[in-house]
Amino acid sequence: MTDDLSRAPIGALPEETRVLVRAVRDGEWQAPHPLYVVWEITLACDLGCKHCGSRAGPARETELSTAQCLDVVRQMAEMGVREVTLIGGEAYLREDWDVIAAAIGKAGMACGITTGARNLDAERLKRAVDAGVRGISVSLDGLERTHDAQRGAPGAFQAAVEAARRVAASPIRLATNTQINQLSLPELPALANLLADVGSKAWQIQITVPMGRGADRPGLLLQPWQMLELFPLLAWIKRTRLTPNGVRLFPGNNIGYFGPYERELRYGGGEGAHWAGCAAGKWCLGIEADGKIKGCPSLPSEDYTGGFAGRDDLAEVVADTPELRFLRERTRDDLWGYCRSCYYADVCKAGCTWTSHCLLGRSGNNPYCIHRALEHEKDGLRERLVHAQPAPGLPFDYGRFDLVVETLPEADGPPTIGGFTLERLAALDRAIELKLFECDCVDALGHRELAHSDLGWIMSIIAGAAGTTTAVWHGKRFSRESDRLMALHEELQALRTEREVIETLLIGA
């Protein structure tokens, strides 16, 4: 959902414009203004994603008219905005989406689209090309079963992959984006291979946040101590899977902060690259389909709406409203908890505002931090999120989590090396053995399958959440199809790949 201007173009702009369009230029640092806008032009959606922060589905009762949208385009250009990403819901479900996209380009701004791509067919892609859309980012949240389960629609994975290949073959530059959570984390290496294969030029990743439907599924969330696993894994994937295939990795603004991998991963890597604080309301702006103006598209609407496009002057809302000024003017004194006393507080300012607010009910203290996890590990501690209050069930809503600090021996039990437990390796070995057995059964018998062959179940074993590995058989009959066996072997390869990653991290390359 959210993105910050200094990361990669979520629209994956052409190589020669990548830095020029969204990056802050000399002379702009002392006078911040939005350079990048993420614009939800409709809440209508053809998917039912389990982590969707806006709970997208039907269109809003009141969404901006075409005339109002074109006036918003004019105001953005006058403010000096350089790049606009259209989102939903699903942007292409609004009838005039390509009219809006074309107007953005004609006003001198780069236009991109982020999409689940369930119905991004050849006709819609042609409309995007004709409108001058410069980049499309397709969401892929894991391999087939994991993606379809999270996106709430069987066949969503195949549709997204086919659409991605279609975009890659067009004049529009292809990027991809992924939610990282308990289901997708083990599949990241295999997913990286797939993204290179479909022709993605950039991969934007971010941690799933408990907003909207994501707030209804606390078990999907990563725990803060898993930053110790995530960061070395991302660095390894970048070196071995992405860079050799010409895919640039761009961690989202809730993947941080500082620590040993900051320079390698931040903003695609580069000399002096480091987190410079939340860009919401400073360099970035979000607009909802009914006109709500926020410093970031993902921020809770109730707490951070400064005005309404179509009614208020965009520049005045950005300059004068406290909901947006706060995001630019906060200091260490506005932080609390661990973040206030952190060495990096004056620069970091508690990382992603959206993430900390949705986790703990207010911004200023962010447990999703590799530096923080490493410092706790030195003291034999870790932090754990405990679900304390459900969300009310509205778009952009959130509940609340309590943050518990506990000792590592009490938390983990088994020996820990570099953030990975030996129990995790054993669980992987069991999962691989089960998958091999399943492949043999499909190949030899052709009429039986494991009831627990759903990859989500295996992921629960890998994550240590399942208490048994007992195989329960059902006599489901199905034809011996080669694509079924191929899918099983792909899942097996994903498990083996993660095993390889963990071994590399534990014992070295």
* Distance, CA of 425 to CA of 419 (rounded, Å): 12
Stretch 435-439: mean pLDDT:
64
What is the residue extent of each domain of the chain?
15-329, 420-507
Q: Is the pLDDT of residue 30 over 80?
A: no
**C-alpha dist (Å) from residue 364 to 222, 300, 400:** 19, 15, 14
In the block, residue with structure tokens 């320079």? 263
Stretch 106-135: mean pLDDT:
98
In the block, residue with structure tokens 């042609």? 126
Residues contacting residue 376 through CB under 8 Å, at least 6 positions apart: 225, 382, 383, 405
Q: Is the pLDDT of residue 486 over 50?
A: yes
Tens digits of per-residue pLDDT, 258-293? 989 998 998 766 666 788 899 999 999 999 999 999
Tokens of 208: 């799933």
Tens digits of per-residue pLDDT, 490-507? 777 777 776 666 555 543
Stretch 22-28: mean pLDDT:
53
Tokens of 237: 């994937």
Contact assessment for residue 5 and residue 22, using Cβ atoms and an 8 Å cutoff: yes
> Could you give the angle at the alpha carbon of 448 between the alpha carbons of 445 and 450, nearest 5°?
130
Q: Which of 489, 263, 228 is nearest to 382 (CA)?
A: 228
Q: Which of 289, 284, 293 is nearest to 312 (CA)?
A: 293
Query: How confident is residue 470, by pLDDT bands cut at 50, 70 and 90?
Result: very low
DSSP 204-246: EEEE--SBGGGGG-GGGSPPGGGHHHHHHHHHHHIIIIIGGGT
Query: How confident is residue 408, by pLDDT bands cut at 50, 70 and 90?
Result: confident
Q: Does domain 15-329 have CATH number 3.20.20.70?
A: yes
DSSP 366-424: ----HHHHHHHHHTTEEEEEEEEE---SSTT-B-EEEEEEEEHHHHH-S-EETTEEHHH
Q: What is the mean pLDDT of the chain?
A: 83
* Distance, CA of 55 to CA of 211 (rounded, Å): 9
pLDDT for 491? 73
**C-alpha dist (Å) from residue 30 to 4, 21, 95, 326, 431:** 18, 18, 40, 16, 54
How do 36-40 and 284-287 pair as beta strands?
A: parallel
Q: Flag whether the pTM goes above 0.75.
A: yes
Q: Which of 158, 173, 175, 170 is nearest to 122 (CA)?
A: 170
What number of other Cβ atoms are within 10 A of residue 468's Cβ? 8
More confident residue, 470 or 446: 446
Give me the amino acid identity at 332.
R
Query: How confident is residue 316, by pLDDT bands cut at 50, 70 and 90?
Result: very high
